Amino acid sequence: MDAEKLSELPISVCRSGGWLVLSFMVLSWILLHRWNQRNEIGPKTWPLVGAAIEQLINYDRMHDWLVEYLSKSRTVVVPMPFTTYTYIADPANVEHVLKTNFLNYPKGKVYHSYMEVLLGDGIFNVDGEAWRKQRKTASFEFASKNLRDFSTVVFKEYSLKLSSILLQASMNNLPIDMQDLLMRMTLDSICKVGFGVEIGTLAPDLPDNLFAKAFDMANIIVTLRFIDPLWRIKRFLNIGSEALLDKSIKMIDEFTYSVIKRRKSEITALKSQHHIDQDGYQMKNDILSRFINLGDNPENNITDKTLRDVVLNFVIAGRDTTATTLSWAIYMIMTHQEVAEKLFLELKKLEEDQAAEQNISLRLCNVREDAESFNQRVAQFAQLLDYDALGKLYYLHAVITETLRLYPAVPQDPKGVLEDDVLPDGTRVKAGGMVTYVPYSMGRMEYNWGSDAASFKPERWIEDGLFRNASPFKFTAFQAGPRICLGKDSAYLQMKMALAILCRFYEFKLVPNHQVKYRMMTILSMQYGLNITVMRRQ
């Protein structure tokens, strides 16, 4: 070996030895990190990536993945590459976050950045003064008796349209996707009640609904952002899921701005004819009109973009949540025969009592009668269902509430953390992190609901024949505290109207081998829909 090569040998050896030492140090660091975690409750974490690997592996079943951890510990800390998520299921912790220290747990900048492309600066995606202004306006509308009465008429109208479609399916023995039909019904309803427009997706020919498809796709993709550390890069390059999101948003905006333009032109025409009330507001009972009229005052800074955000926030509130809950409720009813029969008896009794009270002779129902006669019979029953009558259906109310306990429309709700804090159970949370209360898990925890927590049992809500509420910090389907859902009563009204009509006149059966499971998005919808067959009842 010559002198030159001999002189290079120590350098070569040092280089290879250095890489060996570095590799050994990194491996030791990883193993030490894992060793220190061996007795902790929570998902496996790794240096730099945190629990991202385990979350990605379990993404399609994340709600049940959290149930497994939260059943062992009421608080679970999940470190991620750019933030730390703290998941909570204890009502005391939930009350602290949603009420006691409310100002420390806003939606936050992180959540806003994920959802802005879809929800913009709407009520569900903002904090502070912007949130307060929108909530004040919406609160005024939801408290209006005019809106309540108008909603009752609209919900009845579309429930009857849905019944007619089910009747045809039953007569022709055709399977249907109930979730799709309910999504159409609630979309038509929110557009009529919220925006004063008729879009007709529940027409008998079931026209293709491009807006709804684009909205669902956008919802799925923005949900994925919460665990996808590369989404900003994909957005910048306009590739993959972010490219698909961009196309979906363009389609959503096209529909939304057309609704705003149509409503504005109608208001202008009516105002020119002096069809306004003493306060200067157009005589319509929809929410969008209220926000449009607020734009008459320049100080309110109401732009078309503002109205676009209002529309989409109320779509996700009035369409997705209600249709999803109705889908799970029908699934629960059809898979619990004793519940179906008890509900049917309550509806029959209400029908007889209301008819007697109003001195109406009920026509006998024959499942073999022609479509026109059957529809007339259903319509007669629907006429008995006013706001007060629906309020007497305690068991139906309990069925819906029990569905929401196990299948909450919003299964997780993350909040930002402004300042370091300590939760009631002693868990420390740091500023910049996220705290997420988990309604899906909370409804399944024995420490919240007892040993039968996993069972579908509407009777748990009935006491001495009347419906009994639970603490909103324990039953969190409608959130709690200052952000408690303004549309809760309206949602119950629509769901009770639809289920009263459907469960009085139809029985449902799952199509053989149809798989029912949720899909990961902000709303707990069914991944493959709800494919069922329908049979008429007497």
Give dist(CA 489, CA 193) in Å, integer.
14
| 202 DSSP 8-state letter | T
Q: Is 506 helix (H, G, I), strand (E, B) or coil?
A: strand
Average pLDDT, the chain: 86
Its CATH class, for the domain covering 35-104+412-474, is: alpha beta
Phi, psi of 263 (to 5 degrees): -65, -40
Give dist(CA 215, CA 211) in Å, integer.
6
Tell which residue, 176, 260, 93, has the closest CA to residue 529: 176
Q: The tokens of 366 are what?
A: 């024959």
pLDDT tier at 86, thresholds 50, 70, 90: very high
Query: CA 309, 311, 315: angle at the middle one, nearest 5?
Result: 115
pLDDT for the residue 229: 81
Q: Which whole number is the average pLDDT over 32-61?
A: 66
- For residues 272 and 244, the model is more confident at 244
pLDDT for the residue 276: 52
pLDDT at 413 over 90: yes
Percent of the chain residues past pLDDT 90, beyond the cut: 56
pLDDT tier at 280, thresholds 50, 70, 90: very low
Q: The tokens of 126 are what?
A: 């903002």
End-to-end alpha carbon distance in the chain: 102
pLDDT tier at 48, thresholds 50, 70, 90: low
Question: What type of residue sits at position 204?
Answer: P
pLDDT tier at 269, thresholds 50, 70, 90: confident
Q: Are 507 and 534 in contact (CB under 8 A)?
A: yes
Question: At a CB cut-off of 8 Å and minimum separation 6, what does 131 contact?
Answer: 123
Tell which residue, 182, 176, 175, 180, has the closest CA to residue 158: 182
- For residues 368 and 95, the model is more confident at 95
Query: Is beta strand 84-88 parallel, antiparallel or unpaired with respect to 434-437?
Result: parallel
Q: Which whole number is the average pLDDT over 330-334?
A: 98
Find the range with the poorest average confidence among 55-69, 135-149, 208-222, 270-284.
270-284
| DSSP character string of 430-480 | -TT-EEEE-HHHHTT-HHHH-TTTTS--GGGGEETTEE----TTTS-TT--
pLDDT for the residue 367: 60
Q: Are 107 and 127 in contact (CB under 8 A)?
A: yes
pLDDT for the residue 17: 52
Find the range with the poorest average confidence among 13-17, 318-322, 353-357, 482-486.
13-17
- For residues 237 and 41, the model is more confident at 237
